[in-house]
Amino acid sequence: MTEPDMLDRLLDMARWAPSGDNTQPWRFEKRGDRQLRVHGFDTRDHCVYDLDGHPSQISFGTWLETFSIAAASKGWRMNIDQMDFSDEPRPRFDISIHPADGPSQQELAAQIEKRSVQRRPLHRTPLTAQEKSALQSCLPEGMAVHWLDQRFERLKTAKLLFHSAKLRLTIEEAYEVHRDIIEWHAQFSTDKVPDQALGASAGTVLLMRQVMKSWQRVKFFNTFLAGTWAPRIELDFVPSIGCAAHFVIHALRPARDPQDYVEAGRAIQRFWLQASALSLQLQPEVTPLVFSRYSRESRHFSRSAHAMPMAHDIRSRMERLVGTDLAERAVFMGRVGHGPAAKARSIRRPLSSLQV
């Protein structure tokens, strides 16, 4: 395989990196056989969950780690020559590849395309000490995982997510995000989340299709027909009970700048790929972290009067669950367990549409 072909092959693998709501906030500019510029763009201007662009910056990190692992598996080494956040919402990453001693990280590379989100309930069989050790050991120095795997911890986490979902489902700013990122009548989606991957029953999906046609319908349904109860129970509470464990990945010090979140994203992707290599399924649970930060920094994020009091409640629940210090240092949260892989999932844009 020639060097130009190799760069295309690595890009084709790296495009499978996870990103929030399958936004794929990157475009690629080849600047030679071994040089590449990645143009990033965050979604803070129109996504209530992308607070200060930090979730997008985590996604940039997952892409960089995926490319690095892909390169290592082919006998190459990735080098980040420059990381430019001078225009913070639209960063640039100049990277190059260099010959390495030989192929490595084959096990993780094999999971790049297989890794996916499983939103349906998983087995409650506890993780073994070996599985926990493998997941912790894949994180870099300065990062650790906090497990919530006892029965009462899973129940408290389920209640936290149940309340977070109510906020998520009752503010127009979140509705606008959900409206734009769901692809209806779909098992797979190249640039959104297919409705069959939401984890909802066929009846709930059918109802969602009708209700989500307008914010006025959503408000009416929520106000007069207890509209949030079914999705909150089905999509948040039940899966939260149905898993081996919840986990919180945290740094030794709170992330402060974009580079910190990029490094967190690299760690998260290694953790996720390692989980996949252990035949574990995973689902991110990051909205409590976002709403907690809005509360902690007293930043209004919605036109709805109830949004900030609910965010304060979510923050309080989060801090009671893991402690105030750890809650402030958390960069990612999710649930994990054994179970079947998702039959419906987000896929990716073709490489040709991601190149500039």
Are 250 and 146 contacting, i.e. CB atoms less than 8 angstroms apart? yes
- State the average pLDDT over residues 242-246: 98
SS3 content of the chain, % helix, strand, coil (to 5): 50, 20, 35
- State the average pLDDT over residues 110-131: 97
Closest CA to 78 of 54, 55, 58, 61: 61
* Count of Cβ atoms closer than 10 Å to residue 340 Cβ: 10
Confidence band of 4 (pLDDT split at 50, 70, 90): low
Separate counts of helices (H) and strands (E) for the chain = 14, 12
- State the average pLDDT over residues 255-264: 96
Q: In the predicted model, is pLDDT for residue 2 greater than 70? A: no
Contacts of 33 (CB under 8 A, 6+ apart): 2, 3, 4, 7
Contacts of 42 (CB under 8 A, 6+ apart): 25, 50, 53, 56, 57, 88, 89, 90
Spacing of C-alpha 330 from chain mean position: 14
Confidence band of 229 (pLDDT split at 50, 70, 90): confident
Are 92 and 38 contacting, i.e. CB atoms less than 8 angstroms apart? yes
Q: Could you give the residue ranges of the DSSP H alpha helices within 233-344?
A: 238-241, 258-277, 287-296, 307-322, 324-329
The whole model's pTM is what? Answer: 0.96
Query: DSSP labels for 63-122?
Result: HHHHHHHHHHHTTEEEEEEEEE-SSTTS-EEEEEEEE-SS---HHHHTTTTT--B--S--
* Count of Cβ atoms closer than 10 Å to residue 230 Cβ: 16
Are 246 and 333 contacting, i.e. CB atoms less than 8 angstroms apart? yes
* Count of Cβ atoms closer than 10 Å to residue 212 Cβ: 16
Instruction: Name the CA dihedral angle for 233, 237, 238, 244, rounded to a multiple of 10 degrees.
Output: 170
Query: Residue 26, SS3?
Result: strand
Distance CA 163, CA 95 (A): 42
Task: State residue 300's pLDDT score.
Answer: 96
Quick: pLDDT tens for 21-59.
Answer: 999 999 999 999 999 999 999 999 999 999 999 999 999
Q: What's the chain's average pLDDT? A: 96
Quick: pLDDT tens for 303-353.
Answer: 999 999 999 999 999 999 999 999 999 999 999 999 999 999 999 999 999
Closest CA to 281 of 69, 119, 59, 126: 119
Q: Work out the percent of the chain whose per-residue pLDDT is above 90.
A: 94
Write down all domains in the chain, each with its CATH number in brackets: 3-115 (3.40.109.10), 129-346 (3.40.109)
Closest CA to 336 of 254, 242, 258: 242
Task: State residue 1's pLDDT score.
Answer: 56
